Amino acid sequence: MGRVQAGLAMLAAAWMASGAAAQDDAGILIAESLELAATGYTFTEGPAWDGAQLIFSDIPGDAVHVLTPGEGAAQVLYRPSANANGHTFDLQDRLINAEHGSGAVTRWTAEGGRQVIVAAFEGKRLNSPNDVVVRSDGLILFTDPPYGLGERTSEVGFSGVFALDEVTGRMVLIDDQLSRPNGLALSPDESVLYVGDTATQTLWAYDLAADGTVSGKRLVVDVTDESTPGRVDGVRVDTEGRVYITCPGGICVVDPARREVIERLATPKRATNLAWGGADLSELYITALTDVYRVKTRAQGTGSSSR
């Protein structure tokens, strides 16, 4: 083990020993396996696994990159990207993008380029879609905070969480009360939608109906810690229903039934998002400012970012 990896392992062990991890759930994240997978970017985001490769964004770099494990440095998939942020895949394995700069959710293919899926709600332009997931029936769910507005004024007038039936064009406003809705993920059976609120450092849950409407909004966990760099941003779920979020210090594993953090992993730089990857979806890829990291786990991922 090199000095950098040894230092990371010691940092993670010290953080978990502080009482953040419950004894019966310890060891999901294999801290000593944390390694640098890609580096040299401006601000990485939006990791999504296509079955063999990792897609991720460099938002200020206005490019989307693809990393193939074992084949050296990541390559540019396409640019310009309209400052693409979050990514996922549709039911035909086509890349779906939440575009920070354009204020649209789009689809991109090598053959056809960029296609706008949705850019407005009730005739008003969206703010700057941030992250996106696709349900197994094709329903598109995405968050729309104002981070990419720049000099534009918000037309919708709120930060939203939306569901879109692309076939019918029906769009459902799930929530307009979160301050900065960001990452989102579905429970393994897709009956629960989880959404992170960056501004309040909280994770929320909703019971999701077939038509995209929700009920039973509830707070899952508040991880506020202003003494440590990092915010609630990316959200992922494993096959056991545990929720993984970026949080102050790195990554937090949350038991939604107990509504508490059960394990933590320290990251060398502030984590911005995460995605399952690897042959059996047991690895977590973590975007963190200029870098992308990879860590092995004793869990298995689920969700549309890993379709």
> What is the tens place of the pLDDT at every residue in 154-183?
999 999 999 999 999 999 999 999 999 999
Radius of gyration of the chain (CA): 18
Output the pTM of the full model: 0.91
- Both tokens of 68, joined, read 């193939």
Quote the pLDDT of residue 150.
87
Delineate the domains of the chain, giving CATH numbers in brackets: 3-306 (2.120.10.30)
Selection from 208, 230, 305, 219 nearest residue 254 by Cα = 219
pLDDT (tens digit per residue) in 275-291: 999 999 999 999 999 99
Q: Give pLDDT, residue 7.
A: 46
How far is Cα 224 from Cα 201, in angstroms, rounded to an integer? 5
Q: Which residues of the chain have pLDDT under 70?
A: 1-26, 304-307
pLDDT of 151: 86
